[in-house]
């Protein structure tokens, strides 16, 4: 069975229950939400057919909330499937399990006999999507909800504003919305309803008092610092913020959060609070504390639990604020010791192109996990990782110890979209998010090499399951992406061995570029080192389309001799195909050095299989522009 997340307990039976074309029969789906969930399951199974399903559960509230009872028991036997849950929320999670259980053999589709008792480890299992750096369509967000429900995630956090854009269609301040690329309140309310039908909360964020260049480009009078003339296309921290002493600014904040509260009925509302900077950093901490006091009071008057990034931590910050920790385990410990409830995001940044096993090794309860600077796959960004690790250990002023320690509510993965468009979103998120979803849902486990390999096997199955269920087809999306770059089906087929051997460089190496990366690693700031990307840069290169982690390259570490020989032969063929096409397919020109290196790697594999001692040269392990030869890294470990 390829379930992801893995259930709390699973007892397999001996038989298989066949699905039949006329076998679909559901009883107990007596609410609109359960009836709709049953129809979705029927669509997911499609031509596979159906079987009798009996549901027993009580009706739930109209909207999901933190701490809902999501327990369920699912039994599949010769009589069909039976779901027992206290509330609809548990039944929805059982439907997700049923959607993943369907399998096929020579005799057709079936479900394995099984008895599952399941419940989540954490009540907060989230995904943050930044819709500000690049606009993400409502259609893409709805598909995101489908994939979230499939993997038992229950919080969609929308980062609605930043320096580059303001996506909330306010009635009180319509001038704030980015023209042509924002959401109306009615559209957002419909999204909330779609999410609730799947047991998913929607938590909105307007990021204040920093990250407000888009605000101040419209209302300069509200701001302090280096105020922009227009909405910023530049990425990185901007030295401006809202002025807590300006009556008009605070009235606007209150009006906007009031509309936000009316549009998003969830108990939590996020006010950001991260990376507040001013020229010469004069009095920033005191200014931010004063601002946060005002905005948290506003949110509490609106009946909301305020939420903020961990920079908002301050001795005067009310303990009712939920802290989202992105600056390492030190920030989590600091928040909990000071009495704040917290959500951990630090190890789950999907925009950094980390392989799934890296995210999987971190425990959401503590932030404990591997030291990334020691991982050979990240040698090209080691200095930056080490400097950031040291900085995070020193972060923030001292906070008073609370009499009662805060609670870890769960975890939330983050998809920041500086290098993501609508077309690229799903490939970036769902190539690894199911592994993170498992850490948020499944019981605590020791993550040894065997557990990682089992996760990777099920992660590959998850991608196939989503495609079969009609939710997302990541492989097809990649083919479409290559087509947008001018590659024909023949080009794609011939060059797949090359594409499958590559991954994007890790951490912030793409976003910063070589010069800024070097300066940041040295701790001297980015001044004088222009970044290669801004909000207007087209994301139309091979590096944008390939997967963040190559499953084909990862498999090399355990491949048998025939599979290795086949891979090496493919690497030789791709070089010939590349040389024939590089003049007619401009998108591949930047891969010349990587293509030649892969051909060199083929020779090393053949020598290894012939019994000769070999080692991967350092040049093949170093970046090729914005690419790393992932195949070389996996083989280096094998050869050693």
- 195 and 130 fall within a common domain: yes
Evaluate whether residue 463 is within a structural domain.
Answer: no
Query: Is residue 368 domain-shared with residue 437, that is, in the same domain?
Result: yes
Helices marked H in 485-625: 489-499, 509-522, 542-545, 551-555, 561-581, 592-609, 618-621
- Asked if the structure places residue 2 within a domain, the reply is no
Same domain for 87 and 158, yes or no, is no
DSSP code of residue 401: P
Residue 502 has pLDDT above 90, yes or no: yes
Q: List, for residues 78-131, the tens digit of each pLDDT value.
A: 999 999 999 999 999 999 999 999 999 999 999 999 999 999 999 999 999 999
Over residues 249-268, mean pLDDT: 98
Residue 467 within a domain? no
- If you count them, how many residues does the chain have? 640
Q: Are residues 91 and 134 in the same domain?
A: no
Q: What is the pLDDT averaged over residues 496-515?
A: 96
Alpha carbon distances (Å) from 137 to 352, 574, 589, 602 = 22, 36, 31, 42
Q: What is the CATH number of the domain that holds 45?
A: 3.30.379.10
Distance CA 104, CA 286 (A): 62
User: Is 465 a member of any domain?
Assistant: no
| 105 & 131 share domain | no
pTM listed for this prediction? 0.97
Q: Which domain holds residue 394?
A: 124-456
Record the tokens describing residue 470, joined without a space. 């009609």
Helices (H), 394-488: 425-430, 433-441, 449-468, 474-484
Domain boundary among 70, 97, 118: 118
Tokens encoding 345 = 């995001």
CA atoms within 13 A on the CB side of 596: 8
What does the pLDDT read at residue 518? 85
Above 90 in pLDDT, residue 283?
Answer: no
Confidence of residue 614 (pLDDT cuts 50, 70, 90): very high
Is 461 part of a structural domain of the chain?
no
- Considering the domain architecture, whether residues 147 and 80 belong to the same structural domain is answered as no
Tell me what pLDDT residue 381 has.
96
Mean pLDDT of the chain: 96
Tally of domains in the chain: 3
């Amino acid at each position: 069975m390829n379930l992801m997340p893995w259930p709390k307990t699973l007892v397999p039976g001996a038989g298989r229950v066949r699905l039949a074309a006329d076998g679909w029969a559901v009883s107990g789906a007596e609410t609109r939400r359960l009836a709709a969930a049953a129809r979705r399951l029927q669509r997911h199974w499609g031509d596979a057919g159906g079987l009798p399903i009996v549901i027993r559960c009580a009706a739930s509230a109209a909207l999901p909330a933190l701490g809902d009872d999501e327990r369920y028991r699912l039994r599949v036997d010769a009589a069909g499937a039976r779901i027992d849950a206290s509330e609809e929320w548990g039944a929805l999670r059982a439907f997700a399990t049923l959607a993943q259980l369907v399998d096929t053999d020579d005799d057709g589709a079936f479900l394995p006999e099984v008895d599952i008792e399941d419940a989540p480890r954490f009540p907060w299992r989230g995904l943050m999507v930044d819709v500000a750096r690049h606009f993400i369509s409502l259609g893409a967000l709805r598909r995101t909800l489908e994939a979230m429900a499939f993997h038992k995630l229950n919080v969609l956090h929308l980062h609605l504003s930043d320096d580059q854009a303001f996506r909330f269609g306010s009635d009180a301040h319509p001038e704030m919305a980015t023209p042509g690329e924002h959401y109306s309140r009615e559209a957002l309310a419909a999204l909330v309803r779609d999410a609730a039908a799947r047991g998913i909360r929607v938590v909105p964020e307007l990021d204040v008092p920093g990250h407000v260049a888009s605000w101040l480009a419209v209302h300069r009078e509200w701001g302090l610092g280096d105020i922009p003339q227009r909405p910023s296309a530049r990425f990185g921290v901007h030295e401006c913020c809202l002025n807590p002493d300006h009556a008009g600014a605070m009235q606007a904040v209150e009006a906007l959060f009031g509309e936000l509260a009316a549009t998003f009925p969830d108990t939590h509302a996020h006010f950001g609070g991260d990376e507040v900077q001013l020229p010469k950093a004069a009095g920033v901490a005191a200014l931010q504390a004063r601002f946060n006091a005002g905005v948290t009071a506003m949110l509490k008057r609106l009946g909301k639990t305020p939420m903020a990034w961990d920079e908002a931590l301050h001795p005067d910050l009310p303990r009712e604020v939920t802290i989202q920790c992105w600056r390492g385990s030190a920030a989590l410990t600091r928040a909990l010791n000071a009495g704040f409830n917290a959500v951990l995001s630090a190890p789950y940044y999907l925009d950094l192109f980390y392989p799934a096993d890296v995210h999987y090794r971190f425990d959401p309860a503590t932030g404990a996990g591997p030291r990334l600077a020691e991982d050979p796959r990240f040698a090209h960004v080691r200095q930056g990782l080490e400097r950031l690790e040291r900085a995070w250990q020193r972060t923030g002023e001292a906070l008073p110890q609370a009499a009662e320690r805060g609670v870890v509510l769960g975890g939330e993965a983050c998809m920041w979209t500086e290098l993501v468009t609508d077309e690229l979103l799903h490939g970036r998120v769902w190539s690894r998010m199911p592994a993170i979803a498992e850490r948020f849902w499944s019981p605590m486990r020791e993550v040894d090499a065997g557990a990682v390999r089992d996760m990777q096997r099920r992660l590959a199955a998850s991608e196939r399951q989503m495609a079969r269920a009609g939710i997302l087809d990541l492989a097809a999306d990649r083919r479409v992406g290559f087509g947008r770059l001018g590659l024909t089906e023949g080009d794609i087929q011939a060059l797949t061995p090359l594409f499958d051997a590559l991954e994007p460089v890790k951490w912030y190496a793409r976003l910063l570029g070589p010069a800024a990366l070097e300066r940041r690693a040295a701790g001297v700031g980015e001044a004088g080192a222009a970044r290669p990307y801004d909000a207007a840069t087209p994301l139309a290169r091979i590096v944008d389309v390939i997967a963040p982690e190559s499953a084909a390259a990862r498999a090399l570490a355990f491949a048998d001799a025939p599979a290795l020989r086949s891979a090496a032969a493919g690497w030789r063929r791709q070089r010939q195909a590349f040389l024939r096409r590089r003049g007619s397919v401009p998108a591949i020109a930047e891969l010349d050095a990587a293509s030649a290196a892969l051909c060199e790697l083929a020779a090393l594999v053949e020598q290894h299989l012939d019994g000769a001692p070999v080692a991967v040269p350092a040049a093949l392990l170093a970046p090729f522009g914005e690419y790393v030869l992932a195949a070389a890294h996996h083989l280096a470990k094998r050869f050693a």
